[in-house]
Amino acid sequence: MARKETPHTYQGISASPGISRGPIFVYQEQDLSVPRHQIKDSEDEIRRLEKAIAIADEQITSLQTKAETETGTEEAAIFEAHALFLQDPTLINAVHESIQGQKLNAEAAWIDAVEVNASNLEALEDEYFQARAADVRDVGRRVLRILLGVAESDLSDLTAPSIVLARDLTPSDTVRLDKSLVLGFCTAEGGPTSHTAILAKALGLPAVVGLGNSILDLKSGDPLLIDGGRGEVIAFPDEKIIQEFDVRRQKLEAQALAELELAHEPAITVDGHQVEIVANIGSPQEAQSALKHGAEGIGLLRTEFLYLDRHEEPNEEEQLAAFDSILDAMEERPVVVRTIDVGGDKEVPYLDLGVEANPFLGWRAIRMSLDKPELFKTQLRALWRASPGHDLRVMFPMIATLDEVRRAQKLFKDAREEVVAEGHGVADRVQVGIMVEVPSVAVLADLFAREVDFFSIGTNDLTQYTFAAERTNEKVAHLGDGCHPAVLRQIQRVINAAHDEGIWVGLCGELAGDPDAAPILLGLGLDEFSMAPSSIPHAKAIIRNWSKSDAQKLASKALEFDSAEAVREYVRTNQPG
């Protein structure tokens, strides 16, 4: 049956605001697990490899031509470099050696050699070469796909500005994505705090998640409008709809521009109360975006980027270089680094996390770190070595018990002693805090507050654990709203417990940048709001619009409602002025 190409609206969940329009790029995830076995006929295996390389070369040439006509020479130059890599004699010799010497199959021999090459590039200090590692891996996957006979459909095939449509996107998918070509994200699955949402906010791009499987009937090239703020997506829009969207987009853009102009001013309420507005970032590159959007520091550096999309653990030097680059960019501003938080929906094949029935309740974050002290220590040592001359703060994710805090602190202390004994300089003081994302910590916040320097409330996880509703499952996404009094009352408890002990409290879940939640959090006494850089200008504008005393009244009212909807409705109808 022919497809109807008339306007069709899909309602999903708002994950990142903004409006954009463009063709769809459908991303189908591929299983590229690498078989590894002994072969008998190495000549045959080499022929297979050479054929795959030749096909890859043809694909790259046609992508290059397409790039030249569609996006210009800069894009095309990247493919030229890809083609050159296919002919790199060091690489080819290494693969031949593994196939002939170790009788390794072509897939394993190829990917091993590619990884060595990519890691070598990453270890170089020059940013240009580090960035090339991603290109090398891209080419590696292309050849691997051909060897495995997997149909070509990969994020690396995104060659023109498009709205990316996928079932869901994992952090490792998005690392490879050419962000400059993405106009927005739509996913069939996922909730408002999924990693697609976090990435979209980080890039300042609109995103709608949890659209349901019917959205996957759309094809690459189909025209689409996306309104991230409303959680709405329209396929095959007609002229009238396009015009309405364009008017709305212009209005939003004008407002955003005005807010950006004031982004570098502090966030002070009408009655003179100042709060700290800092950024959540997930890579050294994003530090620039944080500064551009007026961040007063980093409230959450997600360090997973160091571990994802690679085949072996990052070493101490590599981590040190990444921390140095962020700390240098932020100068004297505070930078809160969260230690490794993998597991849950963040998979890392080489860490052998195993398959779990309920990964979000499983062996993730601090649980894994404490069981793998060597891996954890590598990061802690790098942090101490990066600390001199900066306001570095460290926090542990997914803390559930006091025993975990004490064990993590002990390892951090041991790491300090080790690096000092080796003659490295360290800062006199590094604040050590924990994320509050498990209800057990909110309940016992008074006890935890005695043992740490600060709290940072992770409402993405705190909400999913409060409602027992997985944050990536769109079927239960309606349950996971951080504006629910069940979450807000825990936040109140945590802030009060912290202030009673004289420590500061931040919040780094998506709720911090949520326009409905911001005045409530202000009223509850939150000290630090940490959010995607692109959310900062608007959040500052909201804070400046409120007085602390009005926000306090709003917050105490919000705590008495019985649903998140009622709270949001109340905030929207009780704006100041």
Contacts to ligand PEP by CB under 6 A: 300, 302, 341, 437, 458-461, 508-509
CB 419, CB 381: distance < 8 Å: yes
Question: Encoding tokens for residue 133?
Answer: 């590692």
**For ligand PEP, which is the closer residue by CB, 138 or 304?**
304
**For ligand PEP, which is the closer residue by CB, 284 or 458?**
458
**For ligand PEP, which is the closer residue by CB, 104 or 198?**
198
Rounded to the nearest whole angstrom, what is the least distance from the CB of residue 314 to Mg ion in the complex?
20
**For ligand PEP, which is the closer residue by CB, 210 or 509?**
509
Sequence-ordered strand ranges (E) for 49-127: none
Sign of CA dihedral 500, 502, 507, 513: positive
**For Mg ion, which is the closer residue by CB, 210 or 458?**
458
Separation of alpha carbons 142 and 220, rounded Å: 20
Separation of alpha carbons 298 and 284, rounded Å: 11
Number of residues that bind Mg ion (CB under 5 A): 3
Phi/psi at 8 (nearest 5 deg)? -140, 125
Rounded to the nearest whole angstrom, what is the least distance from the CB of residue 460 to Mg ion in the complex?
5
Count other C-beta atoms under 10 Å from residue 165's C-beta.
26
**For ligand PEP, which is the closer residue by CB, 283 or 459?**
459
Which one of ligand PEP, Mg ion, none is in contact with 459 (Cβ closer than 5 to 8 A by kind)?
ligand PEP
Rounded to the nearest whole angstrom, what is the least distance from the CB of residue 575 to ligand PEP in the complex?
26
Rounded to the nearest whole angstrom, what is the least distance from the CB of residue 543 to ligand PEP in the complex?
20
Phi/psi at 271 (nearest 5 deg)? -95, 25
Of residues 447 through 486, those in contact with Mg ion by CB under 5 A are 458, 461
Separation of alpha carbons 461 and 487, rounded Å: 11
Q: What's the per-residue H, E or C state across 469-480?
A: CCCCCHHHHHHC
Separation of alpha carbons 181 and 164, rounded Å: 9
**At 12, which amino acid appears?**
G
**At 139, which amino acid appears?**
V
Residue whose beta carbon is closest to Mg ion:
461
Catalytic residue among 82, 195, 293, 538: 195
Which one of ligand PEP, Mg ion, none is in contact with 145 (Cβ closer than 5 to 8 A by kind)?
none
Inter-axis angle of helices 42-70 and 106-123, to 10 degrees? 50
Rounded to the nearest whole angstrom, what is the least distance from the CB of residue 290 to Mg ion in the complex?
19
**At 147, which amino acid appears?**
L
Sign of CA dihedral 211, 216, 218, 220: positive
Q: Is 424 a catalytic residue?
A: no
Sequence-ordered strand ranges (E) for 154-236: 162-166, 182-187, 207-209, 223-227, 232-235
**For Mg ion, which is the closer residue by CB, 52 or 306?**
306
Rounded to the nearest whole angstrom, what is the least distance from the CB of residue 530 to ligand PEP in the complex?
8
Query: What residues have CB less than 8 Å from 311, skipping those under 6 apart?
Result: 111, 115, 119, 349, 350
Separation of alpha carbons 24 and 62, rounded Å: 20
Q: Is 186 a catalytic residue?
A: no
449: closest CA among 459, 441, 440? 441
CB 546, CB 526: distance < 8 Å: no
N-to-C CA span, the chain:
56
Separation of alpha carbons 215 and 232, rounded Å: 12
Rounded to the nearest whole angstrom, what is the least distance from the CB of residue 366 to ligand PEP in the complex?
12
Here's the x/- map for Mg ion, 421-440, by CB under 5 A: it reads as: ----------------x---
Which one of ligand PEP, Mg ion, none is in contact with 297 (Cβ closer than 5 to 8 A by kind)?
none
**For Mg ion, which is the closer residue by CB, 112 or 341?**
341
Catalytic residue among 82, 186, 390, 508: 508
Which one of ligand PEP, Mg ion, none is in contact with 302 (Cβ closer than 5 to 8 A by kind)?
ligand PEP
Rounded to the nearest whole angstrom, what is the least distance from the CB of residue 510 to ligand PEP in the complex?
7
Residue 191 binding Mg ion, by CB under 5 A: no
Which one of Mg ion, ligand PEP, none is in contact with 508 (Cβ closer than 5 to 8 A by kind)?
ligand PEP
Which one of ligand PEP, Mg ion, none is in contact with 519 (Cβ closer than 5 to 8 A by kind)?
none
DSSP assigned state of 235 = E
Residues labelled as active-site residues: 195, 508
The footprint of Mg ion (CB under 5 A) covers 437, 458, 461
